[in-house]
């Protein structure tokens, strides 16, 4: 696996695919610069070697060239993160761009305009990728969030850099962290899968059953399993068409010696509202008119015990509707248990939009071993798929 450390960037121009698809407010201010900050170590390494940098990214889902999706809006946020001036050009291919790149000096950074202003980007167009390839001596992919897309800038471009392509620091760390869970884990390994639907996590569950000792299932998908086992779930969310699948997963787990842990109690509510009346119920005996919206105190005590005897932990999905304060207790407690296990030497990987949002919201991000930046990409890796953006760097 070629990384930045396999290259000396002195007098070289690195064209880097970054993931600067960041949220903006109505005044085009960046409201969360995490993805920009995450690229800093890659850019710093290249500049410190004596190289220059050409940054390319997408932003949003523009239909043609729409000013609101221009990357010019994020220039000041990048400058603030890197503590360096940024040059910006209002295109990403063509002779004007090539001329500006040709004049780049050591230590300089150029940001290209939104790649998705061209439909060829998402189509994986070879000619478009070739035009992009003219803008650098070495290709660096540091965009894990788009590594599962076979787009021109994430995958197709790599073919124009035989022996001159590598993973950036962020993408290398993502791959290393996921492999640490899936392939090189220290046992016991515990995975926590939450969220509302079993259907969205089926392939993840099937792929990780051979790799984990404990599987904690939380969130809305709890109730599909509880109903499959004959429990009364009241008005709780349930995928009735996945009950047979839930039974099959429980059977597979038993055959493989994996212990599946469902909540044994839940915080029930009489409506889907932060102001609802709440009551703790046995998970198998939720009355009609009530729905489970968070894991209960007995469940959290059991999960805490499991996590604090684990050496490797994967967390993907919350235990409850944490966006509502009344039902955030389980997710916060789970995060604190993982943080405590991490402090005591466990390796913890957090991934998936909701889990990442939760650790940030509750101030737990720094207490985890690694927090992934790519929701869909991480999910596909956990499913056992080879991502096209990763394969493109590995294939020479």
Catalytic residues: 35, 197, 353, 376
Neighbours of 369 (CB within 10 A): 16
Residue list, annotated binding site for ATP = 201, 292, 323, 352-355
H/E run at residue 37: helix 34-38
Strands (E) located in the chain: 13-17, 52-56, 87-88, 109-111, 138-141, 165-167, 189-193, 214-217, 232-233, 259-261, 265-269, 278-282, 285-286, 291-295, 312-316, 347-350, 370-371
DSSP classification of residue 338: H
Which candidate, 141, 189, 182, places its Cα nearest to that of 394? 141
Q: Please state the separation of Cα 377 from the chain's center in Å.
A: 6
Residue list, annotated binding site = 19-21, 35, 58-61, 116, 149, 201, 292, 323, 352-355
The 3-state secondary structure of 282-316 reads ECCEECCCCEEEEECHHHHHHHHHHHCCCCEEEEE
Residue list, annotated binding site for substrate = 19-21, 35, 58-61, 116, 149
| Contact of 299 with 330, CB cutoff 8 Å | yes
């Amino acid at each position: 696996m070629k990384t930045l450390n396999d290259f000396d960037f002195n007098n070289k121009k690195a064209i880097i695919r970054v993931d600067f698809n960041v949220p903006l407010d109505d005044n085009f201010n960046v409201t969360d610069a995490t993805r920009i900050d995450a690229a800093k170590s890659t850019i710093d390494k290249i500049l410190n070697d004596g190289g220059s940098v050409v940054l390319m990214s997408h932003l949003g889902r523009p239909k043609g060239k729409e000013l609101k999706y221009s990357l010019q809006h994020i220039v000041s946020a990048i400058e603030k993160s890197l503590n360096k001036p940024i040059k910006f050009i209002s295109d990403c291919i063509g002779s004007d761009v090539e001329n500006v790149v040709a004049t780049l000096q050591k230590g300089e950074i150029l940001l290209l305009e939104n790649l998705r202003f061209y439909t060829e980007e998402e189509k994986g167009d070879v000619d478009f990728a070739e035009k992009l390839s003219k803008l650098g001596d070495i290709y660096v992919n540091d965009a894990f969030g788009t590594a599962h897309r076979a787009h021109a800038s994430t995958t197709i471009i790599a073919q124009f850099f035989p022996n001159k392509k590598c993973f950036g620091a962020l993408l290398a760390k993502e791959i290393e962290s996921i492999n640490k869970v899936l392939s090189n884990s220290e046992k016991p390994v515990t995975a926590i899968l939450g969220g509302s639907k079993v259907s969205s996590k089926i392939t993840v569950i099937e792929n990780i059953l051979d790799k984990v000792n404990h599987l904690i299932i939380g969130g809305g998908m709890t109730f599909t399993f509880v109903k499959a086992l004959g429990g009364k779930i009241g008005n709780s969310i349930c995928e009735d068409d996945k009950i047979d699948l839930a039974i099959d997963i429980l059977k597979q787990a038993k055959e493989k010696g994996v212990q599946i842990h469902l909540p044994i109690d839940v915080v029930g509510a009489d409506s889907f509202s932060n102001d609802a009346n709440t009551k703790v119920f046995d998970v198998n005996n939720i009355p009609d008119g009530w729905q489970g919206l968070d894991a209960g105190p007995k469940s959290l005590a059991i999960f805490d015990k499991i996590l604090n005897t684990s050496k490797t932990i994967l967390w993907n999905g919350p235990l409850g509707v944490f966006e509502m304060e009344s039902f955030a207790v389980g997710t916060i407690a789970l995060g604190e248990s993982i943080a405590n296990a991490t402090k005591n030497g466990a390796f913890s990987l957090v991934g998936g939009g909701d889990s990442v949002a939760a650790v940030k919201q509750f101030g737990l991000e720094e207490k985890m071993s690694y927090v992934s930046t790519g929701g869909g990409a991480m999910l596909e890796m956990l499913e056992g798929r080879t991502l096209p953006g990763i394969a493109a760097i590995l294939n020479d």
